[in-house]
Structure 1
């Protein structure tokens, strides 16, 4: 090892000061490039983890919120839909509130509807830092005066979510 260092020192001694300056500058440029590449890779790895966290959180929140919204009993439907509004955001909240008051609640009370929704499977379609779209496969069991025996329906919905601080809100729910 010592002989190797001695050879390098001897070689550097024979170089001109200009040549030594160029080698040192080249090593400096190389060090900066390695530092930039390392920082870039670290940032991308963090963004990837952040996006994966977003995907996981959005999917978990959707799997909890959607069945809560779609499961109701005609005896408690007014309170149920009032409470469901806390899960909703944007124009979807306004639309949902209007449709539930004008159509769903009166019909459910008249036909004595009791329905229970469960998530069969879900998958994140897309996600970024504060928004995600989740495709959900649901089963919904419903009884009513029209059909006293439980009727099982399968459906698919695409759910758009937006992060609001530490929580998530559904901003769109579209049957697929």
Structure 2
């Protein structure tokens, strides 16, 4: 009788973990992780892509995806350096994501590696210059949105 009770408790515990806890946690974690990765990749493209004629609005949109000290730094750097150079030298640049991976995840913070190709043209160039880069990004949850708090090119 004791063995049958122990077996019933073990099977019940296994069934609870397998069918109640695990699927919900895996789906929720997976969905949240995917949201963090999607936000990081979208922001990486926005941060690194702009047209010389639309640079003000392009980088304003990118700044809306940022938070904390990085948002302040990016706003100042783009206003003082990137925007004037883009307009003066007719710089157009476009980034595309070629790979992505999440390296750390909690409910409110994630580290994401984003692998990008970036194509840049200027008024002086006859062919686009293409570069590849890897960026380590930290995103933080603010309500339902993930915002970039760190952006470190490797």
| Pairwise TM-score range, normalised by the shorter structure | 0.7 to 0.9
Deviation at 1:120, TM superposition (A): 0.8
Q: Output one character per residue of 1:145-171: Cα deviation in whole Å (capped at 9) or x when no partner.
A: 342321111111011111222221111
Runs of 4+ in 1 over 4 A off after TM superposition: 29-41
Identify the residue that residue 141 of structure 2 maps to in structure 1. 163
Q: Tell me, in whole angstroms, the C-alpha distance in 2 between the residues paired with 1:126 and 1:72.
A: 29
The structure that has the greater radius of gyration is 1
Identify the residue that residue 130 of structure 1 maps to in structure 2. 108
Q: Tell me, in whole angstroms, the C-alpha distance in 1 between the residues paired with 2:44 and 2:33.
A: 16
Could you tell me which of 107, 110, 114 is aligned with 2:88? 110
Which consecutive unaligned segments of at least 5 residues does structure 2 have? none
Q: Tell me, in whole angstroms, the C-alpha distance in 2 between the residues paired with 1:37 and 1:130.
A: 30
With structure 1 as the length reference, what TM-score do the two structures score?
A: 0.74
With structure 2 as the length reference, what TM-score do the two structures score?
A: 0.83
Aligned pairs for 1:32-111 (under 5 A) are 42-111=20-89
**Counterpart of 2:64 in 1: which secondary structure?**
helix
**Higher RCO, Cα 8 Å, sep 6+:** 2
Q: Tell me, in whole angstroms, the C-alpha distance in 2 between the residues paired with 1:165 and 1:39.
A: 31
Q: CA RMSD in A?
A: 2.3
Q: Tell me, in whole angstroms, the C-alpha distance in 1 between the residues paired with 2:126 and 2:149.
A: 33
Question: Which protein has the bigger helix share?
Answer: 1
